[in-house]
Amino acid sequence: MERREERDGRRWVCRTCGEKLVCIDIDPVETREFASSLANLACQREVRTDFVGFQEWLDRHGPFDAVVDGANVGLYSQHNFSFFQLNSVVNGLRQMSPSKKLPLVILHSRRVKGGPADTPNNKRLIESWRRAGSLYTTPNGSNDDWYWLYAAVSCGSLLVTNDEMRDHLFELLGTSFFPRWKEKHQVRLTYGKHGKQGPNFHMPPPYSIVIQESERGSWHIPTVSGDDIETPRQWVCATRDANAVSYSSCAKLAHIAS
Ligand SMILES: [Zn+2]
């Protein structure tokens, strides 16, 4: 237990100055307001009764610990949609869930008919997710992005997608809350690294990506670059030299231990 805490503790620490980074929690009231403005936007852009029907479905079957952008996960580095890959992510998330609950998978209805969805194994898989109340298929003509995003925000759950969420739809959401929410909830995936076949889950960082002053007066400034899984973000670490007469700052690029 002690070792575990020590390891977790180190993840927050700057390798240059040894100071911890802070985690700023998201206000639940702000989250609720964002969820309702998201629902309003979705109702304007989607068929209103479809989206309201989804909200009611979510009230009955939720909340979930994680929501999966099914199309993004099933197509990640694949030419054809892979239910096998999607299933490995679903199982991985179930194992991580404190209550061992299945995540919610959102898929457009065209993904569950024809093509890979018609093999006997995949039919059984789709049916088992349906019966468990962990699959929602969005109707013809819908944009499933509204559905998985709304589900994750309203459940306060993790959102599993490699979509960077920068296209037109996400621009409508503004820049005051959404980027902070995304930083704290998006889980990204890689495959076949670290000597194993299954998915690797890249969890949200346990610290906030904002300019911050630490307890002993170091400043940490996140750089814009390095916002992907393979090359972690670099920070500028500005520490005060206690021996200097004037407290001049010396900025260095720092790696945050992970
Ligand atoms: Zn530092």
Q: What are the tens digits of pLDDT across the range 161-220?
A: 999 898 888 988 988 899 999 999 999 998 875 556 789 999 888 888 888 888 888 888
Q: How many domains does the chain have?
A: 2
CA of 239 to the centre of ligand 1 (A): 7
Q: Determine the average pLDDT of the residues in 228-249.
A: 63
C-alpha separations of 176 from 28, 72, 122, 125 in Å = 15, 26, 41, 39
Nearest to 72 by CA among 184, 187, 171, 196: 187
CA of 162 to the centre of ligand 1 (A): 29
Q: Determine the average pLDDT of the residues in 26-53.
A: 94
Task: Based on the fold, state whether residues 114 and 228 are members of the same structural domain.
Answer: no
CA of 13 to the centre of ligand 1 (A): 8
Helices marked H in 97-246: 120-131, 144-155, 168-171, 178-185
Task: Based on the fold, state whether residues 157 and 244 are members of the same structural domain.
Answer: no
Q: Determine the average pLDDT of the residues in 56-67.
A: 96
CA of 184 to the centre of ligand 1 (A): 21
Which residues, by Cβ under 5 Å, contact ligand 1, an ion? Answer: 14, 16-17, 218, 237, 254
Determine what percent of the chain is predicted with pLDDT higher than 70: 84
> In terms of DSSP bridges, do strands 199-202 and 186-191 run parallel, antiparallel, or are they unpaired?
antiparallel
Select from 166, 182, 202 the last residue of a domain: 202
CA of 221 to the centre of ligand 1 (A): 9
Determine what percent of the chain is predicted with pLDDT higher than 90: 56
Helix (H, G, I), strand (E, B) or coil at 76: coil
Task: Based on the fold, state whether residues 129 and 212 are members of the same structural domain.
Answer: no
Task: Based on the fold, state whether residues 241 and 182 are members of the same structural domain.
Answer: no
Whether residue 28 is preceded by a cis peptide bond, meaning omega within 30 degrees of 0, is: no
Task: Based on the fold, state whether residues 119 and 240 are members of the same structural domain.
Answer: no
Task: Based on the fold, state whether residues 111 and 231 are members of the same structural domain.
Answer: no
Instruction: Categorize the per-residue pLDDT at 16 as very low, low, confident or very high, splitting at 50, 70 and 90.
Output: confident
Nearest to 183 by CA among 74, 15, 26: 26
- pLDDT of residue 92 exceeding 60, the answer is yes
Select from 202, 220, 235 the last residue of a domain: 202
| DSSP category for residue 65 | S
For all residues of the chain together, what is the average pLDDT?
Answer: 85
CA of 206 to the centre of ligand 1 (A): 16
Phi, psi of 235 (to 5 degrees): -120, 150
- The whole-angstrom separation of Cα 55 and Cα 155 is 11
Instruction: Give ∠ CA 203-32-20 in degrees, rounded to 5.
Output: 40
CA of 9 to the centre of ligand 1 (A): 15
Task: Based on the fold, state whether residues 247 and 148 are members of the same structural domain.
Answer: no
CA of 41 to the centre of ligand 1 (A): 41
Task: Based on the fold, state whether residues 187 and 228 are members of the same structural domain.
Answer: no
CA of 186 to the centre of ligand 1 (A): 25
Task: Based on the fold, state whether residues 162 and 44 are members of the same structural domain.
Answer: yes
| DSSP category for residue 153 | H
Task: Based on the fold, state whether residues 164 and 219 are members of the same structural domain.
Answer: no
Domain hosting 196: range is 28-202
- The whole-angstrom separation of Cα 135 and Cα 153 is 17
Tokens of 251: 């900025």
Nearest to 255 by CA among 18, 22, 9, 16: 16
CATH value at residue 71: 3.40.50.11980
What is the structure's pLDDT at 82? 95
Q: What is the 3-state secondary structure of 62-104?
A: CCCCEEEEHHHHHHCCCCCCCHHHHHHHHHHHHHHCCCCCCCE
Task: Based on the fold, state whether residues 225 and 153 are members of the same structural domain.
Answer: no
- pLDDT of residue 248 exceeding 70, the answer is no
Q: Determine the average pLDDT of the residues in 48-73.
A: 97
Task: Based on the fold, state whether residues 9 and 68 are members of the same structural domain.
Answer: no
